[in-house]
Amino acid sequence: MTARELQEWEAFESVEGPLLLHDRVEFATAFVAAAVASAAGAKDVKLQDFMPNWRGVAPAEQQDPEQIMNFLKGLAESKKKGKKRDG
């Protein structure tokens, strides 16, 4: 599998959800557990709190699309400023 194919599968999975059945089952179980905890009066319940962490890696913070765009705009601006200084 090429790096491009891997990126395509990662993008597909980020939109459609996990490809592996056990990941889907864990997600569904975590969803139910979070709903039960919330109904029982728990505050600030997050789905990630109920997901197992098999890989030992902290889950990435999800960013708002607006945050991503602001970051990219800032990156483009800093690149433009760098070119003006060099040229």
pLDDT top residue among 37 and 14: 37
Question: Residue written as tokens 């009066």?
Answer: 41
Q: Quote the tokens at residue 14.
A: 């980020």
In order, the DSSP letters of the chain are: --HHHHHHHHHHHHHH--SSHHHHHHHHHHHHHHHHHHHTT-SS--GGGGS--TT--PPPPP--HHHHHHHHHHHHHHHHHHHHHH-
pTM of the model: 0.45
pLDDT tens string 30-63: 889 999 998 988 888 888 888 877 666 565 655 6
Q: Taking the domains of the chain in order of start, what are their residue ranges? A: 3-54+63-86
Instruction: Report the C-alpha gap between 27 and 59 in whole angstroms.
Output: 14
